Amino acid sequence: MTTQAPIQVPIALGDRSYPIYIGSGLLSEAQTWEGLPKARCAFIVSNERVAPLYAQSLQRALAGHYPQIQQVVLPDGEAHKDWASLNRIFDALLGHGADRQTVLFALGGGVVGDMTGFAAACYMRGVPFVQVPTTLLAQVDSSVGGKTAINHPWART
């Protein structure tokens, strides 16, 4: 059985450019993690369904890049895309002394991507973040284009 090489799609944004990798087995491929933002600390934000499946693999892949790696595990589901979950991320960042170079990794579907991106945009007026989407919808929607948010309880979904 042969495996196909990952596809790399460059996103050209000047000094904010980045690649998107498409393929199978990317968590364990060293090439996937080349060019990561430099930092002393990284946070993997995931949910209670995805974290048990992939968080340890991602942590192993990042171990050579970051001296300190923390995890934040959120409840699963759209109902938890709220202030309480956002504050869980902020509490973890503040509790571990995260600074402006701390990198957030969104490991999960659209809700995790939205939550992590919004937290990264807000924490200290913006910290780097990397999407590691685990669902097809997250791969084609929430991880592309930078739309991130939380829900307001009065708003219709």
For domain 36-142, the CATH architecture is 3-Layer(aba) Sandwich (3.40)
Model confidence pLDDT, tens digit, residues 38-69: 999 999 999 999 999 999 999 999 999 999 99
Model confidence pLDDT, tens digit, residues 68-98: 999 999 999 999 999 999 999 999 999 999 9
Cα–Cα distance, 78 to 117 (Å, whole number): 15
pTM of the model: 0.90
Residue 61 neighbours by CB under 8 Å, 6+ apart: 27, 28, 32, 33
pLDDT of residue 3: 61
Model confidence pLDDT, tens digit, residues 94-135: 999 999 999 999 999 989 999 999 999 999 999 999 999 998
Annotated domain spans of the chain: 36-142
